[in-house]
């Protein structure tokens, strides 16, 4: 169990600690699968490195949101409108680092401190479009959904190695367990780094969106 003191613990290490070779996980990944368009995985990599290393493979985003564009583009349609939306956990959890700028670079998601070994669930009905071990993101899952007629993708990172319960192409339902909370990749405590983005791939703060759409 995590106690309140854990909130003060940084959930990621500075990218510099890992050296340039480990900042982009795509080059050496043998277990990464992607449905549809392949793109470079950058996980929690600071925005500054995007312009040098992998940015040319991504569609140009709106300038105001440049810092929040990551890899694993949201290009795959879910088979149907989701019947409901829920949170990544079946109960309220503490939030660590929020969305936005931080010391290590732009944080493209939120860190949800549910504690070790807590099951993580899909936030909506959808189709798994990416799984693997993404380096900084550790073991991750990407799921595409249709909510309100719009394609939206959710990305979950740092699962326990070997704990994934879904694979690419699999149809999932809201609340279905997809893996177990861990600290693989660039993480110092067990948590889920959670991202949301539409087809433009620009990450946005998932908390207001979940507050507006999700229930337990």
Pick the closer one to Zn ion by CB: 125 or 142: 142
Binding segment for Zn ion (CB under 5 A), chosen from 30-38, 53-61, 146-154, 192-200, is 192-200
Q: Give the phi and the psi of residue 209 in degrees, each rounded to 5.
A: -65, -45
CB of 149 to Zn ion, least distance (A): 29
Pick the closer one to Zn ion by CB: 96 or 126: 96
CB of 7 to Zn ion, least distance (A): 14
- Closest among 187, 190, 179 to 44, alpha carbons compared: 187
Interface with Zn ion, residue 111, by CB under 5 A? yes
State the DSSP code for 185: S
Pick the closer one to Zn ion by CB: 45 or 152: 45
CB of 92 to Zn ion, least distance (A): 18
Interface with Zn ion, residue 195, by CB under 5 A? no
CB count, 10 Å around CB of 100?
12
Three-state SS letters, 103-168: CCEEECCEEEECCCCCEEECCECEEEEEEEECHHHCEEEEEEEEECCEEEEEEEEEECCCCCCCCC
Q: Tell me how far CA of residue 46 lies from CA of 17, 104, 155, in angstroms.
A: 13, 6, 17
Interface with Zn ion, residue 193, by CB under 5 A? yes
Contacts to Zn ion from residues 30-89, by CB under 5 A: none
Pick the closer one to Zn ion by CB: 193 or 203: 193
- The enclosing H or E element of 198 equals strand 192-198
Rounded distance between C-alpha atoms, residue 182 and residue 70, angstroms: 21
165, 212 contact by CB (below 8 A): no
Interface with Zn ion, residue 190, by CB under 5 A? no
Binding segment for Zn ion (CB under 5 A), chosen from 145-153, 178-186, 187-195, 208-216, is 187-195
Binding segment for Zn ion (CB under 5 A), chosen from 81-89, 120-128, 190-198, 204-212, is 190-198
CB of 34 to Zn ion, least distance (A): 21
Pick the closer one to Zn ion by CB: 145 or 193: 193
190, 3 contact by CB (below 8 A): no
Pick the closer one to Zn ion by CB: 84 or 94: 94
How big is the site for Zn ion, counted in residues (CB under 5 A)? 2
- Closest among 79, 83, 61 to 70, alpha carbons compared: 61
Q: Which residues bind Zn ion (CB under 5 A)?
A: 111, 193
């Amino acid at each position: 169990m995590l106690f309140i003191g854990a909130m003060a613990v940084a959930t990621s290490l500075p990218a510099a600690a890992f050296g340039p070779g480990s900042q982009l996980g795509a080059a050496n990944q043998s277990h990464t699968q992607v449905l549809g368009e392949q793109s470079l995985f950058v996980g929690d990599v600071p925005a500054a490195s995007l312009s040098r290393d992998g940015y040319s493979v991504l569609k140009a985003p709106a300038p105001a949101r440049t810092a929040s564009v990551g890899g694993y583009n949201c290009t795959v349609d879910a088979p149907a409108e989701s019947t409901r939306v829920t949170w990544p956990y079946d109960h309220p959890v503490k939030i660590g680092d929020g969305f936005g700028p931080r010391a290590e670079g732009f944080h493209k998601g939120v860190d949800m401190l549910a504690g070790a070994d807590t099951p993580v669930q899909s936030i909506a009905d959808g189709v798994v479009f990416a799984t693997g071990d993404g380096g900084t993101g550790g073991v991750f899952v990407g799921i595409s959904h249709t909510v309100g007629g719009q394609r939206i993708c959710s990305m979950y990172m740092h699962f326990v190695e070997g704990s994934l319960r879904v694979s690419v192409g699999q149809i999932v339902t809201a609340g279905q367990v997809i893996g177990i909370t861990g600290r693989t990749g660039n993480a110092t405590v067990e948590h889920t780094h959670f991202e949301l983005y539409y087809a433009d791939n620009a990450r946005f703060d998932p908390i207001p969106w979940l507050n507006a759409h999700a229930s337990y």
